[in-house]
Amino acid sequence: MLSESDKLAFLDCLAYWASAYYGFVINLPRMSLTNHPFFSKWSQGPSWNWDFDNHALRPFGHYETDVLGNYCCKSGGKNFSDHVDFGSRLAQLRYCVARPEFKGVHPLSQFGFERAMGFGLGNWDYIVEENVDGVFSLFAKIVQFSFDPPDRIRAATK
């Protein structure tokens, strides 16, 4: 929970961001989004003390995290990458699953449960200490579901 002073600072930060995005309408000079004093506190997000690599990705044989921070995994002997972004401006967690056989498709445009169901882009919010274990247990199932569609589509169209 935010203290009263943090709530006011957060509201001021939101107003600052609105000015930074839409100030051009009234000819304001360009503003850096990261210059507001509350930004660093807001952008850090919660610390869950939870080992994502070894819990959520263990079922997938997580064998490496590449230089871009993508989690390199295997399922059924096939390689894939799980792109996970913690604490972005858009959501607490964003993800997508990318398979190397689709080289012509940008990894962030590949597979995700929410995208397949037509209700979102893989943005997750409301992850708190009290539900973090359940969230990442579910996340592992979502990653598997997101990995499977190409094989299911191929099998269904043979």
**What digits encode the pLDDT tens for the residues 19-71?**
776 676 676 787 786 787 877 665 555 555 456 666 677 778 887 888 877 88
Tens digit of pLDDT for each residue in 108-127?
Answer: 778 887 777 666 667 777 77
Angle at 24 between CA 18 and CA 30, to 5 degrees: 80
Q: How far is CA 28 from CA 16, 37, 45, 72, 75, in A?
A: 12, 20, 30, 44, 51
- Alpha carbons 128 and 75: distance in angstroms, whole number: 29
What average pLDDT score do residues 3-14 get? 82
